[in-house]
């Protein structure tokens, strides 16, 4: 069974210094098994300014087994699947230690965002791009951050598209269909 | 094997009254596998002892506790020599660090006093000092958390390398602590843990392997210096130590794997069908053309054109079918068919010969029975001849050389085929080598057949003079056969496999005396001890006894008994000087 007392303590501990770390953990629903972690994109990286949500599921053996983590926010990064958000990070696998916490794992994810390891990729396409064409990689990553990791983004995009003369219902449904990509939505709207 | 040994002993005692002076009695014991076998059988009972032996060596050299020595040996795959080499090369600290062994004094300094409470960093609770445990690395957590950690790791199959819970601490946990804590909550899991540690000696050790017998005999075999060898377990299964399939020397393991697969697949039957038949366009059964013109009529009544396989009417002349034309030449198809045909014939050539010899040596037990009968018939006769070891010796020589001969065919199939060594030799080189090899093989084959012929003769009905003649022949041919086997192996090792550039093929060396029987590991004795130092052990019947009768033989037996993989070429074999009834290796030395 998951050691709920410890999880509770971890949550308290973590939320104490949210201002400093910017890292938040909150229960997804009532249970302490499913959690949502939030990390700010590290400064000086293409992820700067974005807020990234991470789906956390605690296995029965937690903390003796590593927590399962997955990016809920779409992110363009060699070690994170651009499709599923699956993460390739050793401490979430065999290098996990019971002495680590959800917070330290999230900090490691933040560190991973600023220091990709393309030699051990989760997403081969992204990793190839990272190795061969840094500039394109940076602009794509920045673009994804812009499109998916900015909470305010959606409303602004809706507003801009309505201003172009499209009906609000359609704008919202199409934006959702293309995953928040404003340009794609515009294309669809124009061809619709 | 036992029969033979007993006959051999008879021979020794009777030989001195032998009527003629042909034998060289002193060297005769060379025939037997009396050399202390380099492979050992490890049973459930001796596994612990075998492990302890290696543990003790490491503990002594490094003055370590047992659990540290075990961690070290598990990490270095039970290779004591390697541990010692690393100790010399890199030093103690690095040797330990790599294996996760912490031999520290920090244990005491970090030990919390029993009065104060300690915060466990895992469950984040306070505990009195007697409910927490410090590992050798100094990290201290509560017993509950440790136990939970151990249980998870054992269930994950990590028993052999359970690391400390602290992040980035690579120390391996003390097995005694693990055992104590886990057994309090899950005694059966603690047992499982112990078994994992015990079996690590087999699982993580390249010199020890489970016997592949089915149902499993429970034994493991340990070899001393060369994993490319063939052994016989005490359950009497003979196998190749390296690949664990049946003994197959002089085929390499890869060749043997390919060969058995090929034979099993029956892919060649399919090949034959594609080459020699065409499917009927109506009922799709394969149809073979057994003569006549190109209008073929299937058993179902459908007529079709043999050239293109298309359905036609029945109206035709010798050269054309009415209303049908498919005269365009398709070179491709023809070439393909031709190649498949050639490959098939090639395979059949080798397979037939392989099969013939295999079948022959599968008759082993039957032939042995007849021979036993013949011997007892002869013994019943009131005759000067009382020594019949030449019969059994000849019989065993026959089995052994037949075995080598039979496996030499799949060897040749791959050695001179395109599959494995296409880029290793030019066509001309290959041809030369093939001739060289086939020459050896044929000489061996001829002598094996001769030996077989004489042994199967009803000599028990012959008069004494004629028996003596056959005896001479059998003895002579046995020696020649042995020599030829050895020469064939030399050719394979030095001229064929040795010069390979791109691949390594190792074969089990030729054992003149047959596949070595592994002896049971004597508990409480060093593995390196020679067998004849404890002849009282039952399992070593073949060993010491006879040797102690013939002390002069022991000195030279080792070099010849187990030839190394890359044996040095020996000088020419003085066949004219052959001492009768002498094994080939004895002659080599002279």
| B57-90 per-position pLDDT tens digit | 999 988 888 889 999 998 998 888 899 999 999 9
Mark whether A165 and A108 lie in a shared domain.
no
Complex prediction ipTM:
0.77
User: Residues B509, B488: contact at Cβ < 8 Å?
Assistant: no
In 3D space, the residue among A97, A111, A30 whose CA is nearest the CA of residue A67 turns out to be A97
Q: pLDDT tens for residues B295-319?
A: 788 888 788 888 777 778 777 766 6
**Domain annotation covers residue B255:** no
Residue B70 belongs to some domain of the structure: yes
Asked whether residue A144 is assigned to any structural domain, the reply reads no
Q: Which residue has the higher pLDDT, B523 or B453?
A: B453
Min distance A30 CA to chain B CA atoms (Å) = 22
Q: Are residues B381 and B447 in the same domain?
A: yes
Query: Is B173 within a domain?
Result: yes
Domain end residue (candidates: B185, B215, B235)? B185
Structure tokens at B434: 């093939």
Nearest CA in chain A to B145: A64
- How distant, in Å, are the alpha carbons of B62, B70, B146 from that of B66? 11, 6, 21
Interface test with B, best of A1, A98, A107 (most B CBs within 10 A): A98
Same domain, residue pair B164 and B78 = no
Give the three-class secondary structure for A79: coil
CATH number of the domain encompassing residue B119: 3.30.40.10
In this structure, the answer to whether residues A158 and A115 fall within a common structural domain is no
Question: Is A103 part of a structural domain of the chain?
Answer: yes
Average pLDDT over chain B, rounded to an integer: 77
Distance between CA atoms of B175 and B155, rounded to whole angstroms? 15
Residues A66 and A112 grouped into a single domain = yes
Please say which residue of B185, B208, B237 terminates a domain: B185
Q: B141 - beta bridge partners?
A: B133
Is A96 found in the same domain as A27?
Answer: yes
Residue B18: per-residue pLDDT: 40
Q: Do the domain assignments include residue B491? A: yes
Distance, C-alpha B155 to centroid of its chain? 34
Domain contains A8? yes
- CB-based contact (8 Å) between A3 and chain B? yes
> In which domain, by residue range, is B67 found?
51-99
B31 has a pLDDT exceeding 70: no
Q: Compute the radius of gyration of chain A from its Cα atoms.
A: 18
Q: Are residues B438 and B494 both part of a single domain? A: yes
Residue B537: predicted pLDDT: 40
pLDDT at B409: 93
Peptide bond preceding B215 in cis form (omega within 30 of 0) = yes
Q: Which of A62, A64, A94, A103 to probe the B interface (max B CBs under 10 A)?
A: A64
Is there a domain that residue A165 lies in? yes
pLDDT value for B523: 63
Is residue A65 within 8 angstroms of chain B, CB to CB?
A: yes
The reported pLDDT for the residue numbered B551 is 39
B366-386: burial string, b at 16+ Cβ within 10 Å, e else: ebbeebeebbeebeeeeeebe
Q: Is B157 on the interface with A (CB under 8 A)?
A: no
B168–A contact, CB cutoff 8 A: yes
Same domain for B419 and B473: yes
B390 occurs within a structural domain: yes
Question: Residue B154's closest chain A neighbor by CA?
Answer: A64
For residue B151, is pLDDT > 90?
yes
Let me know whether A75 and A120 are in one domain.
yes
pLDDT at site B270: 67
For chain A, what percent of residues have pLDDT higher than 70?
A: 96
Instruction: Give B437-491 pLDDT, tens digit per residue.
Output: 999 999 999 999 999 888 888 888 888 888 888 888 999 999 999 999 999 999 9
In order, the DSSP letters of B189-250 are HHHHHHHHHHHHHHHT-TTEEE---SS--S-EEEESS-SS-EEE-TT--EEETTT-SS--TT
Q: Is the domain of B166 the same as that of B74?
A: no
- Segment B290-298 mean pLDDT: 76
Query: How confident is the model at residue A108, as a pLDDT?
Result: 92
One domain for residues B19 and B88: no
Chain B positions touching A9 (Cβ under 8 A) are: 124
For residues A35 and A110, state if they share a domain.
yes
Buried b (16+ CB within 10 A) or exposed e, B560-590: bbbbeeeeeeeeebeeeebbbbbbbbbbeee
- Same structural domain, A173 and A84: no
* Domain-located, residue B7: yes
Residues 6+ apart with CB under 8 A from B501: B424
| CB within 8 Å of B187: residues ≥ 6 apart | none
3-state secondary structure B56-91: HHHHHHHCCCHHHHHHHHHHCCCCHHHHHHHHHHHC
Minimal CA separation from A53 to chain B, in Å: 25
Residue B49 burial (CB count, 10 A): 16
Q: Which residue has the higher pLDDT, B490 or B342?
A: B490
Q: Return the HEC string of B412-434.
A: HHHHCCHHHHCCCCCHHHHHHHH
Clarify whether residues B349 and B488 are in a common domain: yes
The residue among B359 and B551 whose pLDDT is bigger is B359
Residues A114 and A30 in one domain: yes
* Total CB pairs under 8 A between chain A and B: 36
> Is residue A107 domain-resident?
yes
The reply to whether A82 and A169 lie within a common domain is no
Q: Which of residues 91-150 of B touch A (CB under 8 A)?
A: 121-125, 145, 148-149
- Of the partner residues A6, A61, A97, the one whose CB lies closest to the CB of residue B165: A97
CA distance B146 to chain A (A): 9
% of chain B at pLDDT higher than 90: 19
Cβ atoms of B96 and B72 within 8 Å: the answer is yes
Report yes or no: A9 at the B interface, CB cutoff 8 Å.
yes
Residue-level pLDDT at B140: 92
Distance from CA of B149 to the nearest CA of A (A): 6
Is A97 in the same domain as A160? Answer: no
**Residue B167 backbone phi and psi in degrees, to 5:** -65, 135
**What pLDDT is recorded for position B267?**
61
B293 is catalytic: yes
The CATH number linked to A25 is: 3.10.110.10
On whether both A49 and A126 belong to a single domain, the answer is: yes
Domain count, chain B: 3
Closest CA in chain B for residue A6: B123
| Position A142 in a domain | no
Tell me: do B74 and B17 sit in the same domain. no
CA distances from B163 to B43, B344, B566 (A): 30, 57, 43
Would the pLDDT of B547 be above 50?
A: no
Q: Look at the block and give the residue holding tokens 């070429």.
A: B569
Structural domain of residue A156, as residue ranges? 152-191
- Give which of B138, B140, B143, B149 to mutate to test A binding, by max A Cβ within 10 Å: B149
pLDDT grade for B226, boundaries at 50, 70 and 90: confident
- Catalogue the long-range contacts made by B80-89 (C-beta closer than 8 Å, 24 or more residues apart): B80/B54, B83/B58, B87/B61, B87/B62
The predicted structure's pLDDT at residue B477 = 93
Q: Which two tokens stand for residue B438?
A: 């086939």
Residue B573's pLDDT band (boundaries 50, 70, 90)?
very low
Nearest-by-CA chain B residue for A4: B123
What is the pLDDT at residue B555? 38
**Number of domains chain A contains:** 2
pLDDT at B181: 94
**CA B25 remoteness from chain centre:** 33
- Which residues of chain A are within 8 Å of residue B166 when distances are taken between CB atoms? 97, 99
> Would B228 be classed as within a structural domain?
no
Q: Return the higher-pLDDT residue of B522 and B81.
A: B81
Least CB-CB distance to B149: which of A6, A9, A64?
Answer: A64
Cβ contact, residue pair A6, B122, below 8 Å: yes
User: Which CA distances in Å does B389 have to B7, B327, B393, B465?
Assistant: 6, 71, 6, 17
What pLDDT is recorded for position B538? Answer: 41
Model confidence at B37, in pLDDT bands (50, 70, 90)? low
Domain co-membership, B374 together with B404: yes
| Best CA proximity match to A3, nearest among B185, B182, B188, B152 | B152
| Residues in contact with B188: Cβ distance below 8 Å, sequence separation at least 6, in sequence order | none
- End position of a domain, from candidates B155, B185, B215: B185
Confidence of residue B149 (pLDDT cuts 50, 70, 90): very high
CA-CA distance, B279 to B172, in Å (whole number)? 66
- pLDDT score of B553: 37
Q: Give the whole-angstrom CA distance, residue A142 versus residue B323.
A: 72
- Distances from the Cα of B101 to the Cα of A188, B97, B151, angstroms: 63, 6, 21
* Rounded distance between C-alpha atoms, residue B487 and residue B484, angstroms: 5
Lowest mean pLDDT among A86-95, B282-291, B392-401: B282-291
- In chain A, beta strands by DSSP E: 24-27, 34-40, 51-57, 68-71
pLDDT band at B266 (very low <50, low <70, confident <90, very high): low
Residues B395 and B498 in one domain: yes
**Nearest neighbour of A99 by CB, restricted to B125, B151, B166:** B166
A97–B145 CB contact, under 8 Å = no
Say yes or no: A112 and A171 in one domain.
no
Q: What's the CA gap between B282 and B299, in Å, rounded?
A: 11
For chain A, residues with pLDDT lower than 50 are: none
Chain B residues in contact with A97 (beta carbon < 8 A): 163, 165-169
**B452 and B570 inside one domain:** yes
**pLDDT value for B527:** 42
Q: What is the pLDDT of residues B556-569, one digit of tens each?
A: 333 333 333 333 33
In-domain check, residue B86: yes
Question: Is the model's pLDDT at B372 over the cut of 50?
Answer: yes
Cα(B192)–Cα(A175) distance, integer angstroms: 57
Rg value, chain B, Cα? 33
Handedness of CA A2, A3, A9, A14 (dihedral sign): negative
What pLDDT is stored for residue B179 in this prediction? 93
B364–chain A Cβ distance below 8 A for any pair: no
Q: Is residue A147 part of a domain?
A: no
Question: Is any Cβ of chain B less than 8 angstroms from the Cβ of A97?
Answer: yes
Nearest-Cα distance to chain B for A95, in Å, is 8
Domain-located, residue A42: yes
CATH number at residue B487: 1.20.120
pLDDT reading at B114 higher than 60: no
Strands B295-297, B208-210: pairing kind: unpaired
Marked catalytic residue, from A69, A88, A147, A186:
A88
Does one domain contain both B477 and B571?
Answer: yes
Could you tell me the pLDDT band of residue B330, with boundaries at 50, 70 and 90? Answer: low
């Amino acid at each position: 069974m998951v050691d709920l007392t410890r999880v509770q303590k971890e949550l308290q501990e973590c939320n104490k210094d949210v201002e400093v770390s910017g890292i938040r953990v909150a229960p997804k629903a009532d249970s302490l098994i499913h959690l949502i972690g939030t990390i700010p994109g590290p400064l000086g990286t293409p992820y700067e300014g974005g807020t990234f949500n991470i789906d956390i599921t605690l296995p029965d053996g937690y903390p003796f087994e590593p927590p399962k983590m997955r990016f809920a926010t779409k992110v363009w990064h060699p070690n994170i699947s651009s499709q599923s958000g699956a993460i390739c990070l050793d401490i979430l696998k065999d290098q996990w230690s019971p002495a680590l916490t959800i917070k330290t794992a999230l900090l490691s994810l933040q560190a991973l965002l600023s220091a990709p390891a393309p030699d051990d990729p989760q997403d081969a396409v992204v990793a190839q791009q990272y190795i061969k064409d840094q500039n394109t990689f940076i602009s794509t990553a920045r673009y994804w951050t812009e499109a998916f990791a900015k909470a305010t983004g959606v409303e602004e995009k809706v507003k801009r598209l309505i201003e172009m003369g499209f009906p609000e219902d359609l704008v919202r449904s199409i934006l959702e269909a293309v995953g928040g990509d404003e340009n794609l939505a515009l294309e669809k709207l124009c061809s619709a | 094997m036992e029969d033979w040994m007993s006959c051999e002993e008879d021979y020794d005692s009777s030989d001195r009254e032998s009527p003629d002076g042909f034998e060289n009695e002193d060297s005769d014991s060379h025939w037997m596998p009396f050399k202390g076998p380099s492979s050992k059988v490890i049973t459930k009972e001796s596994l612990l002892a075998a492990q302890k032996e290696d543990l003790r060596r490491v503990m002594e050299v490094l003055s370590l506790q047992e659990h540290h020595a075990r961690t070290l040996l598990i990490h270095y795959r039970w290779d004591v020599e390697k541990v010692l080499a690393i100790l010399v090369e890199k030093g103690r600290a690095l040797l330990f660090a790599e294996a996760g062994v912490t031999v520290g004094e920090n244990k005491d300094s970090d030990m919390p006093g029993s009065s104060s409470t300690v915060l466990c960093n895992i469950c984040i609770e306070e505990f009195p000092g007697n409910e927490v445990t410090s590992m050798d690395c100094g990290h201290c957590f509560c017993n509950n958390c440790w136990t939970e950690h151990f249980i998870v790791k054992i269930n994950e199959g990590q028993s052999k390398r359970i690391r400390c819970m602290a992040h980035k601490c690579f120390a391996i946990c003390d097995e005694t602590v693990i055992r104590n804590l886990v057994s309090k909550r899950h005694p059966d899991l603690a047992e499982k843990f112990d078994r994992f540690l015990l079996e690590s000696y087999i699982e993580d050790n390249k010199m020890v392997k489970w016997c592949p017998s089915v149902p499993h005999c429970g034994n493991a075999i340990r070899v001393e210096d060369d994993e490319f060898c063939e052994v016989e377990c005490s359950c009497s299964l003979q196998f190749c130590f390296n690949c664990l399939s049946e003994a197959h020397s002089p085929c390499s393991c890869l060749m043997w794997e390919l060969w058995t697969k090929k034979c099993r697949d029956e892919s060649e039957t399919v090949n034959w069908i594609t080459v020699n038949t065409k499917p009927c366009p109506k009922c799709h059964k394969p149809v073979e053309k057994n003569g006549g013109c190109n209008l073929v009529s299937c058993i179902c009544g459908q007529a079709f054109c043999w050239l293109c396989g298309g359905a036609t009417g029945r109206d035709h002349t010798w050269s054309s079918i009415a209303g049908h034309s498919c005269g365009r030449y398709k070179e491709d198809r023809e070439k393909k068919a031709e190649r498949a045909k050639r490959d098939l014939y090639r395979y059949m050539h080798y397979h037939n010969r392989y099969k013939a010899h295999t079948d022959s040596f599968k008759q082993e037990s039957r032939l042995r029975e007849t021979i036993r009968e013949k011997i007892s018939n002869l013994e019943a006769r009131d005759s000067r001849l009382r020594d019949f070891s030449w019969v059994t010796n000849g019989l065993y020589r026959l089995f052994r050389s037949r075995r080598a001969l039979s496996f030499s065919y799949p060897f040749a199939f791959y050695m001179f085929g395109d599959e494995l060594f296409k880029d290793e030799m030019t066509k001309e080189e290959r041809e030369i080598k093939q001739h060289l090899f086939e020459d050896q093989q044929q000489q061996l084959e001829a002598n094996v057949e001769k030996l077989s012929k004489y042994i199967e003769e009803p000599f028990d009905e012959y008069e004494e003079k004629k028996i003596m003649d056959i005896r001479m022949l059998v003895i002579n041919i046995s020696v020649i056969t042995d020599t030829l086997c050895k020469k064939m192996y030399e050719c394979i090792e030095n001229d064929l496999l040795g010069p390979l550039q791109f691949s390594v093929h190792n074969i089990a060396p030729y054992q003149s005396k047959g596949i070595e029987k592994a002896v049971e590991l004597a508990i409480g004795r060093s593995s390196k001890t020679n067998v004849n130092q404890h002849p009282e052990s039952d399992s070593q019947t073949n060993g010491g006894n006879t040797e102690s009768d013939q002390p002069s033989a022991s000195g030279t037996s080792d070099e010849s008994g187990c030839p190394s993989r890359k044996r040095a070429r020996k000088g020419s074999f003085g066949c004219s000087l052959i001492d009768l009834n002498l094994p080939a290796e004895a002659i080599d030395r002279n």
